[in-house]
Amino acid sequence: MSNEPQQKAFPEPPPMVVCNWPKTWRFTNVQPTLSQCTVTMYGRLPVASNMSSAVGGAGGAGGGQGHEKMKIGFCTDLDKSVLVNNFEKRGWHQVNGDDDWHFYWAGVQTCRNIFSVDSGYRMHDNQMINHFPNHYELSRKDLLVKNIKRYRKDLERDGNPLAEKAESNNSSGTRYLYLDFVPTTFVLPADYNMFVEEYRKFPLSTWIMKPCGKSQGAGIFLINKLSKLKKWSREAKGPFHPQIAKESYVISRYIDNPLLIGGKKFDLRLYVLVTSFRPLKAYLFKQGFCRFCTVKYDTSVTELDNMYVHLTNVSVQKHGGEYNTLHGGKWSVQNLALYLEGTRGKEVTDRLFGAISWLIVHSLRAVAPVMASDRHCFECYGYDIIIDNALKPWLVEVNASPSLTSTTVNDRILKYKLIDNILSVVLPPDGVPDVRWNKIPSADALGNFELLIDEELVALDEAQNNTTSHNKPSKAGAGSRWK
């Protein structure tokens, strides 16, 4: 990893964007012209005989004139109308996993089976699947924390100014100035002694326990006393010993000062599409939403076990007596931005959304070195982010299979559009899956997605600047900050 940027420090908060991304998230000085983009392509690979009727060069991989467009077979493990309707409207036909397929919207276990060494399955050039082989490096809670910690340590060891530290106001020691976007977290049972040491420094703090391998709020609880954790350990018959405990947990400092709207806690669900990890290519869906609790926020001890106060998961809140089936406890990101501009001002609102984009990009960069960036893969991640009352965003977790279940009419419209836009971005212009494509979609193909980062385009832009502007001072644009 490069030791760039050259500047020693950045002003706070991290200044990757100056715009309000519900309206536009695109970085200046990042995306060169289309004529500059089309020259970079993946090398051609042999095509299996039963795939030979494919358009031979989707998206500029060799030209498709004179070839009849192939009939695309799709396969899915999820019987969701937002998926099937999007596939069928493109003229695709559904096949089984054992048949010849071109596009597979798979569950994570199916993906693991396909990429398993034991399976012996080799994907062809005209096949795509919706998960990276080891997506869990980002979506599993303990691995996410481990990778972010390693990323920060690597930057610190290299002397990169992004790893600069400062004295912390609310915890012992120091904190990262620009990479402080995950709460203090430990993995249990492995980090139990370190957690106890931290807890005893701040015995009045509240912590949240989450099982590493579960989702939708399952198995989550809050503690404010060490005795409660020890009691849970005894009752679970899983003493904190690496050789004995069967299930790993993460325990994180609870964000007990969340931004409240109408007295209720909420978080953000944002959709991030990654088409490659090396080079990193990521896009942010503009139509994210807030998920609200149904009960007003209360930090009293008596409400510590009330998940309707503390957990924003729809899978939890929909069982509450105050749940509203009309709007589903959801609010669009655009409405949130308008609310914050009206109550806090446009400048701080822009800085908040800039910090959120910064958080997402660096969480992806943290896992990029260990991610198997298979050219057949793409992935849509569901980012869960909490904003505190100082308008600082915190990464809560990342989901590899964000729910496609629709709880309201607006929810169904949003998720249908999400899938439609994903297909437009990941497929070549002629709509035929082809891994030889350069994965640089046109502006029209992005739909409601906006470019977060494309390291290939940054490299092209820098190469162009180096060849045409040797004697000109370099621009300190947003693209340069990603180096």
- The pLDDT tens digits for 63-88 are 344 345 689 999 999 889 999 999 99
The rounded distance, in Å, linking the Cα atoms of 12 and 15 is 7
Q: Exposed, middle or buried, 57 (CB in 10 Å: 0-12/13-18/19+)?
A: buried
Q: What is the CATH number of the domain that holds 206?
A: 3.30.1490
Higher pLDDT, 225 or 64: 225
Select from 254, 279, 300 the last residue of a domain.
Answer: 254
- pTM, full prediction: 0.81
Query: Please, which pLDDT band fits residue 443 given cuts at 50, 70 and 90?
Result: very high
Q: Is the pLDDT of residue 30 over 60?
A: no
- The pLDDT tens digits for 308-323 are 676 767 666 665 656 6
Residue 208 and residue 263 in one domain: no
Residue 197's SS3 state is: helix
Residue 147 and residue 296 in one domain: yes
Q: Got the DSSP string for 84-141? A: HHHHHHTT-EE--TTS--SEEE--HHHHHHHH-GGG-----TT-EESS-TTTHHHHSH
Query: Please, which pLDDT band fits residue 240 given cuts at 50, 70 and 90?
Result: low
- Tell me the mean pLDDT in the region 10-23: 39
The rounded distance, in Å, linking the Cα atoms of 370 and 147 is 9
Q: Is residue 347 part of a domain?
A: yes
Query: Please, which pLDDT band fits residue 337 given cuts at 50, 70 and 90?
Result: very high
Residue 283 and residue 421 in one domain: yes
Quote the distance between the C-alpha of residue 8 and its chain's center: 28
For 470, what's the count of Cα atoms within 13 Å in the CB-facing half-sphere? 1
Query: Please, which pLDDT band fits residue 9 given cuts at 50, 70 and 90?
Result: very low
Residue 222 and residue 331 in one domain: no
Residue 104 and residue 140 in one domain: no
Domain that holds residue 211: 184-254
Q: Is residue 200 part of a domain?
A: yes
Q: Which of 37-41, 190-194, 376-380, 459-463 has the highest mean pLDDT?
A: 376-380
Q: Is residue 453 part of a domain?
A: yes
Q: Is residue 9 part of a domain?
A: no
Q: What is the CATH number of the domain that holds 406?
A: 3.30.470.20
- The pLDDT tens digits for 85-109 are 999 999 999 999 888 999 999 999 9
- Tell me the mean pLDDT in the region 202-213: 86
The rounded distance, in Å, linking the Cα atoms of 173 and 165 is 10
Q: Is the pLDDT of residue 160 over 90?
A: yes
The overall longest dimension of the chain from CA atoms, in Å, is 73
- pLDDT at 228 (0 to 100): 82
- The pLDDT tens digits for 399-420 are 998 989 888 888 899 999 999 9
Q: Is residue 401 part of a domain?
A: yes
Residue 310 and residue 391 in one domain: yes
Residue 298 and residue 417 in one domain: yes
Residue 111 and residue 240 in one domain: no
Q: Is residue 442 part of a domain?
A: yes
Higher pLDDT, 350 or 308: 350
Query: Please, which pLDDT band fits residue 5 given cuts at 50, 70 and 90?
Result: very low
Residue 265 and residue 244 in one domain: no
**CB of 76 closer than 8 Å to CB of 105:** yes
Q: Is residue 319 part of a domain?
A: yes
- pLDDT at 79 (0 to 100): 86
Residue 107 and residue 124 in one domain: yes
Q: Is residue 473 part of a domain?
A: no
Select from 254, 276, 308 the last residue of a domain.
Answer: 254
Total structural domains within the chain: 3
Residue 413 and residue 446 in one domain: yes
Q: Is the pLDDT of residue 379 over 80?
A: yes
Residue 91 and residue 158 in one domain: no
